[in-house]
Amino acid sequence: MTQVVKAQRHPRDRLLRSERLPHIWCPGCGIGIVMAAYADAIEASGIPPEKHVCISGIGCTGRVSGYMHLDSFHTTHGRAIAFATGLSLVRPDLEVTVISGDGDICTIGGNHLIHAARRNVDINVIMVNNFNYGMTGGQHGGTTPLGAKTYTSPYGNFENPFNIPYLVAAAGASFVARWTTLHVRQLINAIKRMMSVEGFAFIEVISPCPPTFGEFNNFPEALDMMEYFRKHSVVDHNADLSKIDIRLQGEPLVVGNFVDRRRPSYQELIQETIRRASGRGEGI
Amino acid sequence: MSSGLPRPGVHFMMGNFACVEAAILAGCRFFAGYPITPSSEIFERACVRFPQVGGIAVEMEDEMASVAALIGASYAGAKAMTATSGPGFSLMMENIGLAFIMEAPIVIVNVQRAGPSTGIPTLIGQGDVMQARWGSHGDLETVVYAPSSVQEFFDLTIRAFNTAERLRTPVIVLADQLVGLMWEKVVIPPAEEIEIVERKVMDPRLLSTRLPFDYSADVNPMPIVGTGCRVNIDSLTHDERGYPTTSQEVSDRMLRYLLGKIRNHARELWMYKEFMTDDAEVVVVAYGSTARSALNAVKQARSRGIKAGLLQLITIWPFPSDVIERLSQRVNVLVVPEINFGQLVHPVREHAKCPVIEVNWAPGSLIEPNVIVDAVEVAAA
C-alpha cells in the first residue's frame, strides 16, 4: 500500500519566496532546474543569503530573481549586467549573480555582455539558453539555430546563431562553462565555483522549452530535449571553443568548464586606482 | 594628505567642472558615463576627482548601461550620477523609467545641444525640455532644474541630489551648452554650510511588521543591498510587497503613490526668481541660458519706458503652475523665449490668465536680447 507523504517544507524554502509559488513556467521548462541549482550552490557556497544579490532582466528566466528570497532586482530588458556592474562596484563584498535568458543576455543585452566580459567585472552570469523568446510566445533570437522554426522564422531561421562560450571567452572572462539542465550536479558545482572566481564568471545552461521552441523543432514533449541532451552531450573541459556551436542536428553537444583562469577583475583594478589617486591634489 | 574636497571660496570655473565639485560636496561617489559633447568635461573631471575622494567614475558601453549602473549603485547605497547630451539623453529614457518605478535616487545632467538626432553637438539648444518630462514611456513624473549660470549649475547640482534622496526618484539637471562650457565666478561655501539630505534607509527588522512599499506612505525608506532586507525590487508594476501584479486596483495605487511623491511636494520643489515684476505689464518667462538674454532685454525695455519684468523659472518640472497663474493675473502679456520651436510655452499657455507670446530661436546660438526686446515692444503695444 502506498503512503502519500505531504512535504510541508522544502529544504530550499529559506532561499525561495514560497508564497509566490507556483511559478509561471510551463510544464517541461528547464528554468526551475537552474533556479534550484542556483539555490543549492548558494547553500554550498558558505556565503550567507543576505550577502547574495540576484539580478535579472526580462523574459521567462528573468522571473528567477522574483522567486529568490534574496536582495533581488527585476530590471529592464537586456540591462541586468550593466545594473549588476554598478551595484557590484559599490559593494564588491557581495556575491552578485545575474540570471536571465539568452535573448536578454546575448541579443538585446549582447553589448553589455561582451563589455562586462572584457572588463572582467567580478559578477556571475547564468544565461539559460532555450533558443527562443519564450515569454513573448516563441520568436527567434541570437541563439536560435540556423534553420529552426519559430513564429518569426516560419520558413526556417536564416540567421547564424552566436557560439556564446567562444564569444565570452574571447572577450576576456575569467570563467566560462556550458551545461544542460540534464547535468544538474555539474551545474551546481559550476555555479558554486563561479561564486569563488575573481572576475567575470559565465555559464550557458541549455534548456528545453517544449511549448514555444520544441513544438516546431522536434522536441514537443517535456522529455524530448532532455533525451537529446542525454544522447548527444559530450563533456570536454578542454574543448576547442571555436568548434562548439549548437545546431541541434545530432552533432556533439559539447559541455564542460571550459575556462577557469586568474585575471585581475574590474573591481580590483578600480580599487587600485582609488588607492593611487586618493588624497592626491589639493581638491581645487 | 588632502581630503580632496573643493576649497571653499571664490573660484573661476567652467560650468561642467562646477557641476562635478558640487556633486562631490553633495556626497556623490559614483559616476557612470559615456562621452558626449558638450558634457564630456563633467565625465572627464569626475574621472580625475572622484578617485581622489574615494569615489568611482567609470565609462560604460552606452547610456542605457550608464543609467542601469547608477540604479545598481544607488541600491548599493551610493549617491550616483551621470552626464550626457541629447542623443545620450534619448538612450537614457528607458532606465530613467526604471529609476522612477524602482524609486532609485539618481541624478542625470543633460548639457543640451542643438537640433534633433545628432544635430550640432557643439552649439546650444533647449530642445529637450519636453523629453525631460515626457520622454520615458508610461506615466511618470520627473523633477527638472534648469541653471542659467555657473553658480546656479553648482547650486542646483547639490539641490538635485537632495531632492533625489528625499523623494527617492531620478532628478534631472537640464543645463545647456552655454552654461556647461562657460567659465564664470562661482562661490563654493564651506562644507558645513551646505545642506545635504540623506535618504531614509529601510531597517530590515521593521520588515516583519511593515511592507517595503507602503502606498499610503509619503516616501518609503529604501532597502539597501547587503543589509538583510532581501526585498524584491521590480520593473514590473508591483504590489506593496514588491511582487509583480496585474491587479488594476494595485496598479492604480502604485502609480498614484509614485506620482504623488512629486505632485504632493511640487510647491516645495518650485524654484524661481523674479526681476522687476512688481509693477510689470509685460513679463518675460525664461529658463536656462535664455534667462541671461531675457534679463538684458528687460533692462533695455525698461530704458525705453516699457514696464517689463522677468520671471526666471529654475524648476521647470513639475511645472510651477501656480506661479504662472498668480503672475498672469496682474500683467498684460507673458513673453516666452526659448532656444527651441516652442516647448515650455505650452504649460505656460495652459496656466496663464493673459495672452502669451512665444519667441522661438534655435539656430544653435543664444537668443540675442534685441530679439526678445522686439517681442516685448510688440507685447506692450
Nearest to B2 among A76, A93, A282 (CB): A282
Please list every residue in chain A whose beta carbon sits closer than 8 Å to the beta carbon of residue B7. Answer: 282-284
Confidence of residue A10 (pLDDT cuts 50, 70, 90): confident
Binning pLDDT at 50, 70 and 90, where does residue B56 land?
Answer: very high
Nearest CA in chain B to A274: B51
What percentage of chain B reaches a pLDDT higher than 70?
A: 100
Q: What is the mean pLDDT of chain B?
A: 97
Residues of B in contact with A51 (CB under 8 A): 226
pLDDT attached to residue B1: 54
ipTM summary value: 0.97
Q: Which residue of B has its CA nearest to A69?
A: B230
Q: How confident is the model at residue A1 (pLDDT cuts 50, 70, 90)?
A: low
pLDDT of residue A7: 65
B151 shares its domain with B51: yes
- Tell me if A19 is assigned to some domain: no
pLDDT band per the 50, 70, 90 thresholds, residue A278: confident
Backbone angles phi, psi at B185, to 5 degrees: -70, 135
CA dihedral B137, B138, B141, B143 (to 10 degrees): -10
Helices (H), chain B: 15-26, 40-52, 63-75, 86-102, 129-134, 150-167, 177-181, 248-263, 266-269, 290-303, 321-328, 345-351, 369-380
pLDDT of residue B241 exceeding 80, the answer is yes
Q: How many structural domains is chain B composed of?
A: 2
Which residue does chain B place closest to A85, by CA atoms? Answer: B69
- Does any domain span residue A11? no
Instruction: Say if the Cβ atoms of A58 and B62 lie within 8 Å.
Output: no
Q: Which residues fall within 8 angstroms of residue A26, CB to CB, at 6 or more apart?
A: A134, A209, A210, A211, A212
B6 contacts on A by Cβ (under 8 Å): 283-284
B243 vs A20, A282, A284: nearest CB: A20
Of B152, B178, B193, at which residue does a domain stop? B193
Between chains, do A71 and B32 touch, taking CB under 8 Å as contact? no
Tell if the CB–CB gap between B232 and A66 is shorter than 8 Å.
Answer: yes
CA distance B81 to B78: 10
What CATH code is carried by the domain that includes residue A103? Answer: 3.40.50.970
Does residue A160 sit in helix, strand or coil? coil
pLDDT tens digits, B178-222: 999 999 999 999 999 999 999 999 999 999 999 999 999 999 999
Predicted confidence at residue A203, as pLDDT, reads 98
Virtual torsion, Cα A66, A70, A76, A80, nearest 10 deg: -130
- Establish if B285 belongs to a structural domain: yes
> Would you say residue B21 lies in a domain?
yes
CA distance B115 to chain A (A): 28
| Residue A4 within any structural domain of the chain | no
Task: Tell me, yes or no, whether B227 lies in a domain.
Answer: no
A74 and B62 within 8 Å at the Cβ level: the answer is no
* Cα–Cα distance list, A150 to A140, A236, B265 (Å): 6, 30, 50
Instruction: Give the distance from residue B6's alpha carbon to the nearest chain A alpha carbon, in angstroms.
Output: 5
Which residues of A are less than 8 Å from B228 in CB distance? 50
DSSP element (H, E) containing B273: strand B272-275
Q: If contacts are CB pairs under 8 Å, which of residues 21-50 in chain B contact chain A?
A: 21, 30, 32, 48-49
pLDDT value for B166: 98
Question: CATH number for the domain including B47?
Answer: 3.40.50.970
Return the pLDDT at B14: 98
Tell me the residue range of the domain where A74 lies: 24-274
Question: What residues of A are in contact with residue B98 (Cβ under 8 Å)?
Answer: 75-76, 79
Q: What is the pLDDT of residue A178?
A: 98
* Range A163-184 average pLDDT: 98
Confidence of residue A4 (pLDDT cuts 50, 70, 90): confident
- CATH assignment of the domain containing B359: 3.40.50.920
CB-nearest to A274 from B1, B54, B244 is B54
Is the same domain home to B187 and B277? no
CA of A278: which chain B residue's CA is closest? B52
Is residue B133 scored above 70 in pLDDT? yes
In a domain, A14, yes or no: no
Rounded mean pLDDT of B240-254?
A: 98
A1 inside domain? no
Do B21 and B151 have their domain in common? yes
What confidence tens digit (pLDDT) does each residue in A107-155 have?
999 999 999 999 999 999 999 999 999 999 999 999 999 999 999 999 9
Contact between A75 and B53 using a beta-carbon 8 Å cutoff: no
CB pair distance less than 8 Å for B61 and A111: yes
Residue A2: the pLDDT is: 72
Query: Which residues on A lie below 8 Å from B11 (Cβ)?
Result: 284
CA distance B20 to B129: 22
Q: Exposed, middle or buried by CB within 10 Å (0-12, 13-18, 19+), for B293?
A: buried
Using the Cβ of B16 and the Cβ atoms of chain A, whether some distance falls under 8 Å is answered with no
**Domain boundary residue among B149, B168, B193?**
B193
Q: Which residue of B has its CA nearest to A24?
A: B244
Among the partner residues A85, A270, A280, nearest to B69 by beta-carbon distance: A85
Give per-residue pLDDT as tens, B152-181: 999 999 999 999 999 999 999 999 999 999
Nearest CA distance, B37 vs chain A (angstrom): 22
pLDDT higher than threshold 70 for residue B114: yes
B130 and B279 housed in the same domain = no
Residue B255 forms part of a structural domain: no
- B28 pLDDT exceeds 80? yes
Mean pLDDT for B75-87 is 98
For chain A, what is the mean pLDDT?
A: 96
Domain final position from B165, B193, B221: B193
Domain residues for B358? 273-380
d(CA A240, CA B152): 59
Choose the closest CB to A49 out of B5, B73, B230.
B230
**3-state SS record for B94-154:** HHHHHHHHHCCCEEEEEEEEECCCCCEEEEECCCCHHHHHHCCCCCCCCEEECCCCHHHHH
* Number of domains comprising chain A: 1
Q: Give exposure, A6-29, as e/b (b: 16+ Cβ within 10 Å).
A: eeeeeebeebbbeebeebebeebb
The rounded radius of gyration (Å) of the Cα atoms in chain A is 19
Residue A5 falls within a domain, yes or no? no
Among B32, B75, B226, the residue with its CB nearest the CB of A50 is B226
| pLDDT score of B2 | 72
Cα separation of the two ends of chain A: 83
**Hey, is the C-beta of B5 within 8 angstroms of any chain A C-beta?**
yes
Give me the mean pLDDT over the A190-198 stretch: 98
pLDDT digits (tens, 9 = 90+) for A31-62: 999 999 999 999 999 999 999 999 999 999 99
